[in-house]
Every structure is written in structure tokens, then in C-alpha cells.
Structure 1
């Protein structure tokens, strides 16, 4: 992909099943696709962004526990609603916030950037390698037959989601289980990733404007990760289905 049109076509073809909005009518997502990334190790810019995110998390957690933060609490409630146990399978935002006190992971420029934006804006944010996607992304409630390519004890293994579990998937199977808990091996970001998809999730009380603000800041930082970056995004909410 080197033009905006293919990226826009992919994000416009993304799909959220009506059953998701029956579960959480307030759910919104921004899908942001980017091409032209130049892979690179963590650097001064990504380090500064991570340090800013860590300081933000420490400040937010001075007076309350992670699970009491409004958006974290909303996701914990949602996990319970589709049968997941939030103390055992934490949404990606909560998992990152719990690491922020001792230090967020340093992986590479791309992963560092989106992890920092997730913490700074207190929203779950996942990243996928579009080169390994098959068809557009879809958010559905699982039948339990969708394959999930993951690892157990250091070895690759195929698992299957629970029936009714909320999953992101493509034509070949699950890309992320339990809405925003664990991403699969097949579509995970790699050190050599040049084209990527980012999914930014929001529930009330996060506003659509705040969600778009997070997407805009992510896009700003991604635009510096190559000389010929192409970025497009797409907001999906309940009203876009009608």
C-alpha cells in the first residue's frame, strides 16, 4: 500500500456487529491505518513520550487505584457483561497502567508510541500488522469456532474463544481476544512492520471528541516515523450502522 485509497477502503470496510452495540450502546472505535513506516529501535523521541506517559499515569494513580479510574472501571464492567473475569484477563489499558509505576516496556519506536498514547489518553489501543491481515477487521461475538494463533509455554498453539466472547477477527480467525485483552501472533506488530492498523476503543465517560483527539495525537507521532507516511482513520459507532 502506498496510496491513501487502499487504506481508506480497508478501514471503511471494517465492521462492528449489532450484537456489540446491544452489549454496549456507548461503544465507539477509531480505526487508524498507516503505511510507509520505517522500522526503527526505540529512540530519544519514543523514550520522551514513554516518560511523559509514565508521569501521567503516576499522577492519575496518586489518589485512586487503577481499577477505580473511570474508563478502566467501564471496561471491567463490560468484561463481566460478556463473561470474562476482569481480575484474570485485564483490558490492555489497565494492564499498561499497572506497569507504568515501574516502567512501561521499551520495544521499538512503533510499539512505544502507541503504548504511550494509550496511557496518556487512558484508552485501550491495539496495533496490528496489516501485511498479515486477511480481509477487513470485524468486531463480533464469537461462535467459539474461530481459531486464535497464540503461544503457550513458549510454543505456538491454536486456541478458540469462548462462545459469546467479544473478539476482533479477520477472514482467517481471531486477531484479538476479549475485545482488547490479547492479540494474536499472526497479526502482531513486528520489528519490520511497515503498514499497520491501530484500533482505539472508547466507552462512556470518554467522549467521541476525546477519542478522536487520541487518534489525532497518535497520527501526529506516526507521521514522524518515515519520510512518506500515509494515514487514514475511520470512526465507528452505533449511528454508523443506520
Structure 2
């Protein structure tokens, strides 16, 4: 598999995306040597603690009333999406918080969902072994393939022209910035090497974005102390420090 540091250094955010939202930054995190599998006591403890933190931060408000999440609604509208129909991932998760709590999926997914709701930012996880080439955030031309399911059957869809998507050399890995991931690169119980994308817009600062990355790293190492983690911050700095860190 491609060296994670070299692979991260090749990841890009297209100028057309930066022009749309000059305040956009992402922390890309790779983790190798993970141990996937069903949820367990460790992932349950991490997710339950995050649910409590998220409820406190919401304070009875709707997710879209928080400035960190309202910014994502604005970003979706900027490329023509309707956020009340296709919600940013963090908002969608927080809407499922009550009354029964978040869904339990698998130990890796539960940990990254925990960081998303506790830190109020979109966060996606992908199986890095399924990638062809490095991740790139672009505005789609509409021809790119996106493999998903509809009615329980596999289908190939295509993004709208101008839509913000993550992609690799094969096709779209996540539509509408952070709305829906493809099936090809999804995390499974067999995943041992992963990419995580932590998305930030103002008013979220770099310090807050990196704190979320620290929390993700802590959670992943709780799942597997032998995991090797690298990260890179891409995009314009919104606080002290540079834009590339690992």
C-alpha cells in the first residue's frame, strides 16, 4: 500500500472549491494497523461519552442553530444543494441523537461518529486500501461515477455539475462535500487501513479542528494501540501555525 505520508502529501483541494469557500480547511488522517470489527466496550464507551457532550453543546437547540453547523448549510447552498433535503453529515448525525442515541455500526465507525458529534464538525471515514490514487476535493463535471445502493441494489449515480465531491482516480468517494459516501471505499469490519476527513469552516478554528483530530487519534489508539497514525492539515490557516502538519 502507498506510504501514508507520501499519499497525504498528494491530496489536494481544488482551487474551484477554495474559491467557493475560502475558509475551508480539512485535516486528513490516515491510520494503519487498525483492528476493525463489531462494536465493543471500547467503542461504546467513546460513543456514549460523545453523546453526552453533544447533548450539552446543543443545549436543547436544533443542530442547524449552532454556528458551526449553520456554516455548512450555507456551503451546501453555495453549490446548489438543498441542505434541508440532503443534510451535512454532522447535522444528520446530531438529529438522530435523541431519543434513542446514535446508531451503533462498527467499532471504527462508532469512534469517528463520536468525534463528529462531540466536536460539531463533519467527519467521514474511508477504507484506504480501496482507494486508487490520492483523495481530491473538486467541483464535479457530472460525469464521475458514484457507486451506491438504491432499493437495496447496487447502482451507479453521477453528481450534479458543480457539486463539491471527494474523489480518487476511479470516481467519487463522497458526494456533496460530506453528505454520502460511496460503497467502494466504505469502512467495514474487515478494515485495517483507513482515511478520515475532518471538515472545517469558520467559525471553527484550526485549533478546534486539530483538537478534533487529536480526539480521533486517541479513540483509534484506544481501539488498537499498535495503529500508526499520520495527519495533514490542508487549506488556509485560520489561527496560528502552518497548513501542513503530520
TM-score w.r.t. length of structure 1: 0.95
How far residue 61 of structure 1 moved from its aligned partner, in angstroms, is: 2.8
Q: Structure 1 CA distance, aligned partners of 2:223 and 2:53? A: 24
Q: Structure 1 CA distance, aligned partners of 2:211 and 2:222? A: 18
Q: Using the TM superposition, name which of 64-73 and 221-230 deviates more.
A: 221-230
Asked if 1 retains the 8 angstrom alpha-carbon contact of 2:145 and 2:172, the reply is yes
Is 1:37 equivalent to 2:34 in the alignment? yes
The 5 Å alignment of 1:96-115 reads 96-101=93-98, 102-115=100-113
Alignment-derived partner of residue 155 in structure 1? 153
Aligned residue pairs total 238
Alignment-derived partner of residue 11 in structure 2? 14
Q: Structure 1 CA distance, aligned partners of 2:48 and 2:227? A: 25
Q: After superposition, what is the alpha-carbon deviation per residue over 1:22-68, rounded to whole angstroms, capped at 9, x for unaligned? A: 11010000000010011232112211211112112222333422110
* Aligned mate of 1:183, from 174, 177, 181: 181
Alignment-derived partner of residue 90 in structure 1? 87
Q: After superposition, what is the alpha-carbon deviation per residue over 1:211-235, rounded to whole angstroms, capped at 9, x for unaligned? A: 0010011111112322521110000
Q: Structure 2 CA distance, aligned partners of 1:73 and 1:82? A: 15
The 5 Å alignment of 1:80-229 reads 80-101=77-98, 102-229=100-227
* Aligned mate of 2:57, from 54, 60, 63: 60
**SS of structure 1 residue aligned to 2:191:** coil
Q: After superposition, what is the alpha-carbon deviation per residue over 1:194-217, rounded to whole angstroms, capped at 9, x for unaligned? A: 000000000000000100010011
Asked if 1 retains the 8 angstrom alpha-carbon contact of 2:34 and 2:191, the reply is yes
**SS of structure 2 residue aligned to 1:180:** coil
Q: After superposition, what is the alpha-carbon deviation per residue over 1:61-118, rounded to whole angstroms, capped at 9, x for unaligned? A: 3342211011110000110010000000001000110011131111111011000000
Q: Structure 1 CA distance, aligned partners of 2:53 and 2:218? A: 19
Q: Structure 2 CA distance, aligned partners of 1:171 and 1:192? A: 23
Q: After superposition, what is the alpha-carbon deviation per residue over 1:116-174, rounded to whole angstroms, capped at 9, x for unaligned? A: 00001111000000110000000000000000000000000000000000000000000
Q: Structure 1 CA distance, aligned partners of 2:236 and 2:208? A: 17
**SS of structure 1 residue aligned to 2:110:** helix
What stretches of structure 1 move > 6 A for 4+ residues in a row? none
Q: Structure 1 CA distance, aligned partners of 2:225 and 2:20? A: 42
Q: Structure 1 CA distance, aligned partners of 2:227 and 2:76? A: 35
Give the 3 Å change call, closer, same or farther, for CA 120–106 of structure 1 in structure 2: same
